[in-house]
Amino acid sequence: MTSTEPEFLTAARTFYDTVAADYADRFRDALAATPWERAVLGVFAELVTTAGGGRVAELGCGPGRITGHLAALGLDVHGLDLSPRMVELARAAHPAIPFEVGSLLDLPYGDGSLAGAVAWYSIIHTPAEHLPRLFAEFHRVLAPGAPLALAFQVGDTPLRVEEPFGHPVALDFRRRRPERVEALAAAAGLTVTTRLVREPEADEKTPQAYLLARKEA
Ligand SMILES: C[S@@+](CC[C@H](N)C(=O)[O-])C[C@H]1O[C@@H](n2cnc3c(N)ncnc32)[C@H](O)[C@@H]1O
Instruction: Please write the tens of the pLDDT for every residue from 5-14.
Output: 999 999 999 9
Does residue 189 carry a pLDDT above 80?
yes
Does residue 1 carry a pLDDT above 60?
no
Q: What are phi and psi of 126, to 5 degrees?
A: -100, 120
Residue 50 alpha carbon to ligand 1 centre in Å: 28
Residue 122 alpha carbon to ligand 1 centre in Å: 4
Instruction: Please write the tens of the pLDDT for every residue from 20-38.
Output: 999 999 999 999 999 999 9
Answer whether 0.85 is exceeded by the pTM.
Answer: yes
pLDDT at 3 (0 to 100): 61
Q: pLDDT band for position 176 (50/70/90)?
A: very high
Beta strands in 154-207 (DSSP E): 159-162, 170-173, 190-198
- pLDDT over 70 percentage in the chain: 99
- Find out whether the beta carbon of 117 lies less than 6 Å from any atom of ligand 1: no
If one residue of 1, 15, 23, 81 were mutated to test the ligand 1 pocket, choosing by the most ligand atoms within 8 A of its CB, it would be 81
Atom of ligand 1 nearest to the CA of 151: 8
- Which among 104, 162, 108, 94 is positioned nearest to 136, based on CA atoms? 104
- Find out whether the beta carbon of 125 lies less than 6 Å from any atom of ligand 1: yes
Domains defined for the chain, CATH in brackets: 7-215 (3.40.50.150)
